[in-house]
């Protein structure tokens, strides 16, 4: 029971209930004692007040203390009281309605109650109050046991109330324990289903705030794992498709050469095709490995202060030959930029990939616009083309491996933007894609280096 949260919670509630009952019992006992003391004092004062006038009248008529006390003996016994008359100075008892303390000296012993005293007779304690009378002191006493009736009546009722409260508290503790641990049990079952391969398994977000946060975190983790597994399956499907095309060409042309179907000049043409497709395969594998290394953080290059303006201008100059061949112009407006912390070679590759993508998807006679400036500690580089734009909803997918929009040319491996995004993220930045009037715009956002 102790090794389970439910058991520990229940034991905790049980301890709280037990401590609460002990404290409540102590408080109630104190209140009962206080009430009993006050009731004792008030009863003795009421009895002595009623008898004082009778005693004074009897003594004024010339009766002796003994006669006066004997006249009140029956009335005193009827109310479980005792009447005594004592000398003021010596405290010697002149008359006792019980006839046991005549001639004895009774010193008053103060109690915790103001004006109430005790004396002992035959091993029993008697509470009493005293009033002044012409011939001494009137003492009205009552046996201590007579005052425990109220206590005896209150204790059973108090015990029943405490037991009922304890039972209700335990039932509530069991209910609260079950309510708190139910979401945890649901989380355990959901985790077991998820671990068993049910990637759709989710847990209800309920219970206390911390448990809701835990359930929400589990669901978010499950969503991310499901998304990653989906991306992995899609990637494997895309990879198999991309590899099948060049492999099919290589297999077909090599088989044609072996079987003699291609002869003469055709052999050289088939061999060149095989060589081109093999290079394409090698380039694709190298780019895949490059993306994997960047995303995993393996093989991190040096981190140094990089003059991004120079890197960007170098990338523009490097792409101009390709742009002239495609009959696409390059217009750049690069403002002075602060340095960034990173690898100049990888940053150059980032911009080359983005510029290459823009040139490939710009029609002949158009121009690619390149701009850059610093904004709030960030450097924003904008590359805008004049192509057909990005299909609706594909702004994020263009950075996926092997993704090509339906209206884009199939040339290339489909990894250029994926590599660029991975490089940007490894430098603490990112790339955004959006449609603008007359084409598409890619925004490369990188953090400026700290001074």
Q: Which of 96-105, 139-148, 258-267 has the highest mean pLDDT?
A: 96-105
Q: Which percentage of the chain shows pLDDT scores above 70?
A: 85
Question: Are the folds of 209-296 and 304-447 the same?
Answer: no
**Residue 399 confidence (pLDDT):** 79
Question: With the CA atoms of 339, 342, 343 and 345 taken in that order, what torsion angle do they form, in degrees rounded to the nearest 10?
Answer: -50
What is the CATH class of 5-150? alpha beta
Please answer whether residues 406 and 391 qualify as being in contact, where contact means their C-beta atoms are separated by less than 8 angstroms: yes
Fold of 209-296: Helix Hairpins (1.10.287)
Judge whether residue 383 has pLDDT over 90: yes
Q: What is the mean pLDDT of residues 36-48?
A: 80
Placement of tokens 């401590």 in the chain: 19
Q: What is the DSSP string of 132-198?
A: EETTEEEEEEEEGGGGGHHHHHHHHHHHHHHHHHHHHHHHHHHHHHHHHHHHHHHHHHHHHHHHTT-
**Residue 360 confidence (pLDDT):** 87
Residue 243: CB atoms within 10 A of its CB come to: 14
**Residue 375 confidence (pLDDT):** 83
Task: Give the residues across from 333 on adjacent strands.
Answer: 371
Boundaries of every domain in the chain: 5-150, 209-296, 304-447
**Residue 430 confidence (pLDDT):** 92
Provide the pLDDT confidence category of residue 409 given band limits of 50, 70 and 90.
Answer: very low
**CATH 3.30.565.10 for domain 304-447:** yes
**Residue 410 confidence (pLDDT):** 45
Q: How high does pLDDT run on average in the chain?
A: 81
Judge whether residue 49 has pLDDT over 90: no
Report the distance separating Cα 208 and Cα 179, nearest Å: 9
Report the distance separating Cα 126 and Cα 146, nearest Å: 9
Q: Which of 1-10, 88-97, 259-268, 409-418 has the highest mean pLDDT?
A: 88-97
**Residue 287 confidence (pLDDT):** 66
- Counting Cα atoms < 13 Å in the Cβ hemisphere of 313 gives 10
Q: Give the pTM.
A: 0.46
Report the distance separating Cα 295 and Cα 424, nearest Å: 10
């Amino acid at each position: 029971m102790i090794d389970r949260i439910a058991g520990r919670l229940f034991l905790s509630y049980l301890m709280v209930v037990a401590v609460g009952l002990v404290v409540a019992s102590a408080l109630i006992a104190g209140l009962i004692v206080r009430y009993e003391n006050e009731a004792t004092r008030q009863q003795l004062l009421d009895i002595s007040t009623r008898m004082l006038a009778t005693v004074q009248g009897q003594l004024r008529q010339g009766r002796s203390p003994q006669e006066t006390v004997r006249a009140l003996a029956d009335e005193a016994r009827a109310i479980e009281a005792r009447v005594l008359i004592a000398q003021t100075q010596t405290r010697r008892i002149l008359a006792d309605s019980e006839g046991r303390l005549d001639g004895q000296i009774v010193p008053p012993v103060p109690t915790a109650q103001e004006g109430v005293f005790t004396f002992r007779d035959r091993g029993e304690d008697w509470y009493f109050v005293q009033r002044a009378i012409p011939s001494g002191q009137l003492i009205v006493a009552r046996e201590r046991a007579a005052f425990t009736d109220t206590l005896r009546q209150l204790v059973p009722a108090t015990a029943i109330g405490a037991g009922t409260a304890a039972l209700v508290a335990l039932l509530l503790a069991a209910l609260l324990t079950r309510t708190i641990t139910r979401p945890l049990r649901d989380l355990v079952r959901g985790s077991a289903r998820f671990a068993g391969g049910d990637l759709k398994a989710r847990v209800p977000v309920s219970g206390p705030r911390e448990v809701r946060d835990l359930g929400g975190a589990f669901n978010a983790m499950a969503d991310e794992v499901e998304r990653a597994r989906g991306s992995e399956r899609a990637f494997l499907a895309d990879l198999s498709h991309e590899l099948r095309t060049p492999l099919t060409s290589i297999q077909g042309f090599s088989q044609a050469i072996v079987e003699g179907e291609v002869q003469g000049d055709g052999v050289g043409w088939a061999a060149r095709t095989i060589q081109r497709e093999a290079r394409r395969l090698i380039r694709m594998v190298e780019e895949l490995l490059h993306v994997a290394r960047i995303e995993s953080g393996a093989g991190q290059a040096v981190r140094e202060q990089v003059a991004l303006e120079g890197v960007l201008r170098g990338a523009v100059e490097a792409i101009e030959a390709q742009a002239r061949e495609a009959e696409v112009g390059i217009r750049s407006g690069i403002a002075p930029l602060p340095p960034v912390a990173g690898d100049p070679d990888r940053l150059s590759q980032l911009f080359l990939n983005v510029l290459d993508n823009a040139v490939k998807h710009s029609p002949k006679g158009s121009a690619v616009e390149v701009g850059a400036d610093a904004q709030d500690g960030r450097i924003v580089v904008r590359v805008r083309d004049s192509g057909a734009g990005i299909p609706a909803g594909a702004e994020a997918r263009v950075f996926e491996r092997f993704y090509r929009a339906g209206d884009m040319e199939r040339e290339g491996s489909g990894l250029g933007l994926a590599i660029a995004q991975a490089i940007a993220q490894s430098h603490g930045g990112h790339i955004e894609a959006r449609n603008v009037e007359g084409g598409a715009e890619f925004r490369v956002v990188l953090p400026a280096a700290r001074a």
